[in-house]
Structure 1
Amino acid sequence: MTRPGHRHGHGRRLCNNPPTRRGMPRARRCRGADSRASGCNARICAPRRLTSPIPAMTLPPSDAPRHDPAPAAPDPAGDETDGASSSADRAPAAEPRQEALEFLLRRMRHRGDFPALSSSVTAINRITASESESVGKLSDLILRDFSLTNKLLRVVNSAHYRPTGSSISTISRAVIVLGFDAVRNIAITVLLFEHLHDKANAAQLKEEFLRACLAGLLARDIGARLRLRELEQAYICAVFHNLGRLVSQYYFPEESEDIRRVMKETGCRDDLAAQQVLGLSFEDLGIGLAEAWGFPPVIVGSMRKVAEGTVRRPDTLEGRLRALSGCANELCDAVASLPARERDRVIRHIASRFADAVPMTEDKVRESLASSIEELADLAQVIQVRLPATRIGRQLDHFIHATEGAAPPEDDAPLPGQLRERSQAEDAGAPAGAAASRLDAQAILTAGIQDITSALLEGLKLNDVLRIILETVYRAMGFKHVLLCIRDARGNTMTGRFGFGPDIDRLIRSVRFSLATQPDNVFNVATAKGVDILISDVDDPQIAGRIPAWYRQALASQTFVLFPLTLKNTPVALIYADKDRAGDIVIAEHELALLRTLRNQALLAIKQAA
Structure 2
Amino acid sequence: MGRYHVLSELGRGSMGVVYLGFDPKLQREVAIKTILVPEGYSEAQRQAMTRSLLQEARLAAALAHPGIVRVFDAGEDHSLPYIVFERIEGVALSTRLAEEGALGRDGADRLMGELLDALAYAHERQIIHRDIKPANLMVQADGRLRVMDFGIARALADQPQSGRRVLCGTPRYMSPEQIDGRAVDTRSDVFSLGIVFYEMLCGQRPFPQKDFQELREALVGRPHPPLHHHNPDLPPSYYGFIDRALAKAPEERFADARQMRDALHECMVDRSAPVAAPGEDVSVARQQILDEIRRQIERQGDFPATSQYLARVTAAARSSHSSASTIANEILKDFALTNRILRMVNSPFYAGIGGRIRTISRAVVILGVDTVLSTAGGLSIFEHFHNRSGVAELKQQAVKALMTGLHARQLAHAINLENAEEAFICGMLHHLGRLIVAFYYPQEYQRIEKLIDNGTPTERASRKVMRLSYLELGEAMAQFWNMPESIVRAIHGLDPEHKGAPQGSVQMTQAVVSMAEELSHATFITDPEQRQAALKAVERSFRDKIHVGETRLMRLVEDSLRNAWDISHALRVDLKSMGVTDALLHSIQADPGVEAAPAARPRPGVSAAAVEATASISGDVSSPSLTLDDPDDERSQMDENALAVQRQDLMAKTMAEISQALAGQFQLNDVLVMILEAMYRGIGCDHVLMAMVNPQRSHVIGRFGLGDQIEEAIGRFNFPLRAGGGAPVGCIINRREYFVPDLSDPAHHGLLPRPLDEVLRAEGLILVPLDVRNQAIGLFMATRRKSRAAFARQDLRDLRALSRMAVTGIQQSAGQR
What is the TM-score normalised by the length of structure 1?
A: 0.76
Q: Say whether the 8 Å CA contact 2:275–2:285 is kept in structure 1.
A: no
1:569 Cα deviation from its structure 2 partner: 3.2
Higher mean Cα deviation, 118-127 or 189-198?
A: 189-198
What amino acid is the match of 2:517? N
3-state SS of the aligned residue for 1:164?
A: coil
Partners of 1:119 and 1:337 in 2: how far apart?
36
Corresponding residue for 1:148? 337
Aligned-partner Cα distance in 1 for 2:444–2:387: 16
1:578 aligns with 2:783: yes
Match of 2:400 among 189, 197, 211: 211
**Alignment partner, residue 447 of structure 1:** 653
Matches within 5 A, 1:184-199: 184-196=373-385, 199=388
Match of 2:517 in 1: 329
State the 1:362 CA deviation. 2.3
Q: 1:35 maps to which residue?
A: none
Deviations 1:196-231 (A, max 9, x none): 466453544432332222222221112212222221
| Match of residue 709, structure 2, among 496, 500, 503 | 503
Residues 588, 244 of structure 1: CA spacing in aligned structure 2 closer, same or farther, 3 A cutoff? farther
Q: Which residue of structure 2 aligns with residue 161 of structure 1?
A: 350
- 1:181 alignment partner, one of 362, 370, 381: 370
SS in 2 for 1:222: helix
- The within-5 A match list for 1:274-289 is 274-289=462-477
Deviation at 1:491, TM superposition (A): 4.4
1:109 is matched by which residue type in structure 2?
E
For residues 528-576 of structure 1, the C-alpha deviation after alignment (integer angstroms, 9 at most, x for no partner) is 4434323223222221243322322343233232222112332111111
State the secondary structure of the residue aligned to 2:703.
strand
1:509 Cα deviation from its structure 2 partner: 1.0
Match of 1:54 among 264, 273, 280: 273
Q: 2:677 aligns to what?
A: 471
- Structure 1 residues 308 and 391 mapped into 2: Cα distance closer, same or farther (>3 Å)? same
Q: In 2, distance between residues paired with 1:544 and 1:255?
A: 64
- Residue 543 of structure 2 is aligned to residue 355 of structure 1: yes
| Structure 2 alignment gaps of length 5 or more | 1-109, 117-236, 242-265, 594-636
Q: Retained in 1: the 8 A contact 2:690–2:780?
A: yes
Contact 2:422-2:487 within 8 A present in 1 as well = yes
User: What is aligned with 1:365?
Assistant: 553
CA distance in 2, matches of 1:354, 1:366: 14
Does residue 96 (structure 1) correspond to residue 304 (structure 2)? The answer is no
1:233 paired to 2:422: yes
**Equivalent residue, structure 1, for 2:718:** 512
Distance 1:330 1:191 in 2: 23
Q: Higher relative CO (CA 8 A, sep ≥ 6), structure 1 or 2? A: 1
Residues paired across the two proteins, number: 510
Alpha-carbon spacing, 1:49–1:381, altered in 2? closer, same or farther (3 Å):
farther
Residues 563 and 255 of structure 1: is their aligned pair in 2 closer, same or farther, counting only changes over 3 Å? farther
Unaligned runs of 5+ in 1: 1-17, 25-46, 58-67, 72-92, 407-432
CA shift for structure 1 position 484: 0.8
Question: 1:125, CA displacement in angstroms?
Answer: 2.6
Which residue in 1 is equivalent to 2:667? Answer: 461
Alpha-carbon RMSD: 3.2
Q: Structure 1 pair 534/209, CA: closer, same or farther in 2 (3 Å)?
A: farther
What residue number does 1:345 align with?
533
> Shift of the alpha carbon at 1:605?
0.9
Encode CA deviations 1:108-130: one digit per residue, 9 max, x unaligned. Answer: 22112246742222222322444
Contact 1:474 1:482 in 2 (8 A): yes
Give how far 1:352 is off.
0.7
What letter is aligned with 1:343? R
Secondary structure of the corresponding residue to residue 578 of structure 1: strand
Check the 8 A contact 2:413/2:420 in 1, yes or no.
yes
Residue matched to 1:606: 810
1:290 maps to 478
Change (3 A) 1:300 1:52: farther
Task: Tell me if structure 2 keeps the 8 A contact 1:211–1:392.
Answer: no
State the secondary structure of the residue aligned to 2:702: strand
CA distance in 1, matches of 2:645, 2:514: 40
Map 1:516-535; keep pairs closer than 5 Å: 516-517=722-723, 521-535=726-740
Contact 1:48 1:278 in 2 (8 A): no
Deviation at 1:309, TM superposition (A): 6.8
Rounded to whole Å, the distance in 2 between the matches of 1:438 and 1:336 is 47
Question: Is the 8 Å Cα contact of residues 136 and 467 (structure 1) preserved in structure 2?
Answer: yes
**Helix, strand or coil: the match of 1:201?**
coil
Question: What residue in structure 1 maps to residue 309 of structure 2?
Answer: 120
**Larger CA Rg, structure 1 vs 2:** 2
Q: 1-side partners of 2:575 and 2:645: how far apart?
A: 25
Task: Report how far residue 396 of structure 1 moved.
Answer: 3.3
CA distance in structure 1 between the aligned counterparts of 2:554 and 2:433, rounded to whole angstroms? 27
Contact 1:205-1:249 at 8 Å conserved across structures: yes
| Larger deviation, residues 113-122 vs 270-279 | 113-122
Aligned to 2:411: 222
Q: Percent identity?
A: 28
In the superposition, relative to structure 1, how do residues 607 and 241 fare at CA in structure 2: closer, same or farther (>3 Å)?
Answer: same
**Structure 1 pair 249/582, CA: closer, same or farther in 2 (3 Å)?**
closer
Within 2, Cα distance between the matches of 1:386 and 1:163?
24
Q: Is the 8 A contact 2:306 2:377 kept in 1?
A: no
Once residues 285 and 645 of structure 2 are traced to their aligned partners in structure 1, the CA distance between those partners, rounded to angstroms, is 51
CA-to-aligned-CA distance 1:419-478 (integer Å, 9 cap, x gap)? xxxxxxxxxxxxxx9779998212221222222223222322222211111112112223
